[in-house]
Amino acid sequence: MEVAPKPKDLKPTEQENPGTESQMQPRADHGEEHYKGLGRLKNKVAIVTGGDSGIGKAICIAYAREGADVVCCYLEEDKDAEDTKNWVEKAHQKCLLVRGDLSKESHCKEIIDKTIKKFGKIDILVNNAGFQRKAVDSIEKMDYDSILYTFKVNIISMFALVRYALPHLKEGGSIINCASIQAYHPTASILDYACTKGAIVTFTKGLAQELINKGIRVNCVAPGPVWTPLVQASFDKDKLSQFGSEVAMKRPAQPVELAGPFVFLASNEASYVNGEILGVTGGGLLA
């Protein structure tokens, strides 16, 4: 696997929200050509929000190669979502695409309803999708509606998805949320996004205490800088050219480098792991 380029080697392209994989320059690595599955999720059904690109796409590909059928949820990026579906099907697994806006409770219910209609069960719920608007230089430039939308997509949707999924999650089920190093080291220019990631950490720890009584584990992955469309849609070229230089490895991760931790937390290998925040940060400290 080729690691992500260091910032000095990047010649990034800015994008508008929500950002698409097909427009990324340079392109990201989701493990399309080299992730090897070991059957750790055989016969499982996994819901992955934000599965069209970035970390979510890498999760979908890895889960399929580990033997799971996948429900790939996405906002509007049809081309990217179809590409994810193609990679899942190349792994001889089924893929259901569900398009829509997670800020709407009705769509969260729709995801669960369509999954049960198609597959009859849910084993894994990955709350990965996130919204991050363009960085600004002052909190005064963060408008109310944008802040509210960020919270609806990034954390309130998790409450809705878990509530609707719970009747179908059985003992041995797994919920995995995606937070960020931003929960621990917030950047002022994306403060609303950082605050939602802090809320996700608390959500994970609290929910884990309740659901373990049902035999359902709840954990969280906290990535550091990762080369995704979300990033290219959030920062200007100057910032992008330095992206990842702040962590010990001096580079951003490729999305595929996040896939393994999500596989681990969903598998029986993590049967005694609950309520944990797994940092995948390139050496950036969570404390």
**Bridge partners, residue 108, by sequence:** none
Lowest mean pLDDT: which of 2-6, 28-32, 55-59, 140-144?
2-6
Confidence check: pLDDT of 233 > 70: no
Q: Residue 43 pLDDT more than 60?
A: yes
Domain at 39-280: CATH code:
3.40.50.720
Q: Which amino acid is residue 204, in one-letter code?
A: T
Q: What is the pTM of this model?
A: 0.91
Quickly state the pLDDT bin for 7 (edges 50, 70, 90): very low
| Average per-residue pLDDT for the chain | 91
Query: Averaged over 206-232, what is the pLDDT?
Result: 93
Worst-scoring range by mean pLDDT, 45-49, 114-118, 198-202, 280-284? 280-284
Q: With bands split at pLDDT 50, 70 and 90, how would you rate the model's confidence at 10?
A: low
**By the 8 A CB rule, do 97 and 82 touch?**
yes
- Where do the domains of the chain lie? 39-280
Task: List, in order, residues 6 or more apart from 192 with CB less than 8 Å away.
Answer: 133, 142, 146, 147, 150, 151
Q: What letter does residue 226 receive in the DSSP assignment? A: B
The alpha carbon dihedral of 240, 258, 71, 130 has a sign of negative
Q: Is 272 a catalytic residue?
A: no
Q: Is 4's pLDDT higher than 80? A: no
**Candidates 74, 149, 193, 272; catalytic one:** 193
- Confidence at residue 13, expressed as pLDDT on a 0 to 100 scale: 63
What's the CA gap between 199 and 268, in Å, rounded? 27
